[in-house]
Structure 1
Amino acid sequence: MADAYAQASGTIGFLNLHAASGTGNAMGGLTNTAACHTPVVVMAGQQARSYVPLDAMLTNNEAIKLCDPLVKWAGEPLRPEDAPVLLSRALMLADSAPRGPVYLSVPLDDWDKPANEATVRHLLDRTSSASPVAEQAALDELIDALREARSPVMVLGPGADTELGFSSAIALAERARLPVHIAPSPPRSPFPTRHPSYQGQLPSAAGALADVLSAYDVVVAFGAPIFRYHAPSDADYLPTGVRLFAVTDDPDEAARAPIGRIVVGDPSDALARVARAVDHTDRPEPPVRTPAAADQSGPRYAAEAILDAVDRGKSDDAMIALEWTSADLIRDRLTIARSHSLFYCASGGLGWGLPAAVGLGLGCPDRPVLALIGDGAMQYTPSALWSAVRYKVPVTFVICNNTKYRALQEFSELLHVPEGPYLDISGVDVCKVAEGYGVTAHRAESLDEVTDFVSAGKNQEMPRLIEVPQR
């Protein structure tokens, strides 16, 4: 919830946990926060300095070590009066590029000690600015490659999903007549899905991705790791002769990239500068991509048909929390017309989507929020429904129920695991679960009901839920 609040509001999320068990419970969420570069300060309340923990308990130092691989920085004050200084440091580090979560653990008895008034006064006046700008010489090389290319392509990732990045990507695509792909497994949607240049999402296996990019001679990527490979493959990363240039604000992403000429800097700023520098071209327009028609038959509906029904009901300014693995590769059936419109669990860690929808509503109350969640994913964090009711966040929850754990089922087939009953999650009454938390719930009997329910959600003041039977 803090993660999505920070993404929606453009501010820093603030999360309070217990140092031991609370940190352990939050680890799954932190993987998504770290992978998405979301600025969140995790403030953990550790045991008092005078307390000697039982041998079986997780100590504060162990909690810091536990989350250390996932955060930009972790620390604890050596003296009570150091707590304000470290909190100020945590806030600045979280919001400095590359943005991400930080972890600060403060002993419980530190809060009773007086702070140094002069120190606090200086801290409140202090500011920092830490947004790296791509070197012009490196961008010139990318611009020259675009000018000389016979068949270039642009790839966009979550780092380009800002108002500047979104508009600049459109301008660059139109000036240079670039086809546009979205990077594999993206947690955001940084380009309009109905734009003529849009060509879809890249696959998350090296060989399959290389096959798609074999149609081009120059690849320019902005705001994406190069690349996320989810499915195993022994194939090469890129076809021979294809040159790749990329801009990321994360030096670690740049160092991890196995291919390409990588520039460290703000992707949105780089997009704007490249768009201004590139001349209009006489290359042919990219081919227009038309999604295949969906099978509309019921009573259980295809994922494509459900997405189309949702799309007919939603507004262009809707913010969508997506955690429905059946729709991962076909999410672009949804109309995305502006930045900050689609949010997905960045590391694939399920349980993020339901509370994230509530965080989106709290962080940006002026836009309607829609949650597309699988019935399996819902079981990870159903208590988020209580928060939606408690804080009167008018999220429209669409729970797509196929009675199975499809993501693991597909990987079981890929890894040749014998079939068994262990991925069958039938028998859960989704509507009764929601009603138990105080959410009004309804089971759809037609696709038109789904469309009408989503459309009515724009004017609601409380959360609502519809369960849709899926094949």
Structure 2
Amino acid sequence: MPTARRLAHEFLDRRGLTTVFGNPGSNELPFLAELPDHFRYVLGLHEGAVVGMADGYAQATGRPVLVNLHAAAGSGNAMGALTNAVYSRSPLVLTAGQQVRTAIGLEAMLANVDATQLMRPLVAWSGEPSCAEDVPRSLAQAVFEAELHRRPTYLSVPYDDWAVELTETATLDRHVQRGLTPSEAQLDDLAKRVAAAKNPALVLGGDIDATGLFDRAVALAEHLGLPTWVAPSPHRLPFPNRHRLFRGVLPAGIAPVSAALTGHDLVLVLGAPVFRYHQHVPGAYLPEGTRLIQVTDDFGAAARAPMGEALVADPGPVIEALLSKVPARTFEKDHVENPEPRTGEKALHPEQVFAALRGTQESDTRYVVESTSTNSAWWRQMDLRREGSYFFPAAGGLGFGLPAAVGVAMGSPDRPVVGVIGDGSANYGITALWTAAHYRVPVTFVILRNGVYGALRWFGELLGTPDVPGTEIPGLDFTAIAAGYGVEATTARDEEDLRTQLKATPDGPRLIQVDTEPTTPE
């Protein structure tokens, strides 16, 4: 008779979850035993880095990913990175080992007390099988819940369950599909309202890029000549940022968003919450006379929105309906030229670094960015025209950049990957360098070293608290740190040297440290 372990491995194999990101402890070893030879186990040295890598891998592939964590302590280490995966809507299937059943109530060492509550409310579903016979079904539910909700799930399994012999189960053959197609009447009504609007605008969210709708969203904007914004706090780029119709990323405050949308009688929001604010700048949610219609397949995002109307549906059919039902409008089809980069006095300005990246990297490069104080410089200089070109920590949790760059590179070996990471952010996920070196992942890390937490300084000014401690981080040498983890590392002396180094094509990971002047997000 097969064991629960063998049935679990068979189910995962049939579902294509054969890449496992993990950092094992004693409770996890019985699950990992007898892992099929064609499975790939990717070891991370800290659970935060493990989840960050899996998040990047899931976003790059668009598929669920299995993550194996250690009981309560390891799961706790992962929770910071998990917040980003929740808001990027990455379908991570988190599994964790649990003490043997007879030891849980005793709170023995490494028992995960009340395991199903540990990761809530972050995960979409959390469970622990009621008995060994329930292990295959529980694992299947964790996978299906992650796929249906497009959100991480969590399953704790007592480690003595894995060796229990079970009868074959129908769970192995199960398939669950997701479909949210709006009715023809709903599509007709939306098309009429868009066609009747005198000055409509389009706002796109990260879900457009994540679900493969980048090109279709561009086609819609061009078909209707719609000025197009990206929703606040984007973790993906759903529209070419040098396109003539691109109006930028909406500011992350209530009043500034309202001001930006002034003059538009209809705002159509596709694949985004309405809205993910950051800075507390109160005011009217929308300008007077402006109507907003949100189209999202995220039930929670539709329910919690403070204004406008919502259609809970897959944005894909909505885009196609608008393309066919609304008459075309004309606009000038070209791209906006990049401005000359600003220059620094004592070190390179971040715009010089980004201009160098734009001038040396392939047009299909994927950028994983975690340098929050340089956002305005980034959007001024980059020219991103391909889907899947931009990844950012969706919840703002630091430690995403380095691990996610590794995961994105492992998940998309056909495209170059560059991680653009601030020196403050890099420390939170630094152990990902070892994984990059160990698996020879072809990824370039560009570390912007300015010696400060630039975003905190900016917020200090906004909040009227410019004199708080803990915003300076001098003395960091990432070339030495990277060398210790086995990653080739250099320092760029000036802009010409940086361009020369960036033109080289690595066959494994490399790190380039660049001294830059402190800037603010603006």
Normalization by structure 1: what TM-score?
Answer: 0.94
On the 8 A contact 2:104/2:113 being kept in 1, the answer is no
What aligned pairs does 1:66-215 form with structure 2 within 5 A after superposition?
66-96=118-148, 98-117=149-168, 119=169, 122-162=170-210, 164-215=212-263
CA–CA distance in structure 1, aligned partners of residues 422 and 237 of structure 2 = 19
The Cα of 1:268 is off from its aligned counterpart by 2.8
Deviations 1:134-158 (A, max 9, x none): 3333333322222112211111101
Deviations 1:292-345 (A, max 9, x none): 432234541222222111111111111111101123344333221211111110
The Cα of 1:61 is off from its aligned counterpart by 4.2
Match of 1:429 in 2: 477
AA partner of residue 342 (structure 2):
D
Which of 371, 394, 397 pairs up with 2:442? 394
CA–CA distance in structure 2, aligned partners of residues 81 and 163 of structure 1 = 36
Q: CA 1:215/1:59 → structure 2, altered by over 3 Å: closer, same or farther?
A: farther
On the 8 A contact 1:372/1:400 being kept in 2, the answer is yes
- The SS at the match of 1:308 is helix
CA–CA distance in structure 2, aligned partners of residues 30 and 3 of structure 1 = 8
Match of 1:313 in 2: 360
Which of 284, 294, 298 pairs up with 1:236? 284
Which of 498, 506, 510 pairs up with 1:464? 510
Match of 1:11 in 2: 63
CA–CA distance in structure 2, aligned partners of residues 455 and 59 of structure 1 = 51
The Cα of 1:56 is off from its aligned counterpart by 9.4
RMSD after superposition: 2.0
CA–CA distance in structure 2, aligned partners of residues 289 and 106 of structure 1 = 54
AA partner of residue 306 (structure 1):
V
Q: CA 1:269/1:468 → structure 2, altered by over 3 Å: closer, same or farther?
A: farther
The Cα of 1:272 is off from its aligned counterpart by 2.5
Which of 43, 64, 69 pairs up with 2:95? 43
Normalization by structure 2: what TM-score?
Answer: 0.85
CA–CA distance in structure 2, aligned partners of residues 316 and 57 of structure 1 = 52
1:342 maps onto 2:373 in alignment: no
On the 8 A contact 2:62/2:210 being kept in 1, the answer is no
* Between 38-47 and 137-146, the greater mean CA deviation after superposition: 137-146
CA–CA distance in structure 1, aligned partners of residues 479 and 302 of structure 2 = 45
Which of 45, 50, 54 pairs up with 1:2? 54
The Cα of 1:455 is off from its aligned counterpart by 2.9
CA–CA distance in structure 1, aligned partners of residues 247 and 302 of structure 2 = 25
The Cα of 1:62 is off from its aligned counterpart by 3.5
* Between 321-330 and 358-367, the greater mean CA deviation after superposition: 321-330
1:408 maps onto 2:460 in alignment: no
- The SS at the match of 2:103 is coil
Match of 2:41 in 1: none
CA–CA distance in structure 1, aligned partners of residues 178 and 66 of structure 2 = 20
AA partner of residue 181 (structure 2):
V
What aligned pairs does 1:338-377 form with structure 2 within 5 A after superposition?
338-377=386-425
AA partner of residue 251 (structure 2):
P
AA partner of residue 478 (structure 2):
V
**Matched residues, percent identical?**
42
On the 8 A contact 1:162/1:268 being kept in 2, the answer is no
The Cα of 1:115 is off from its aligned counterpart by 2.6
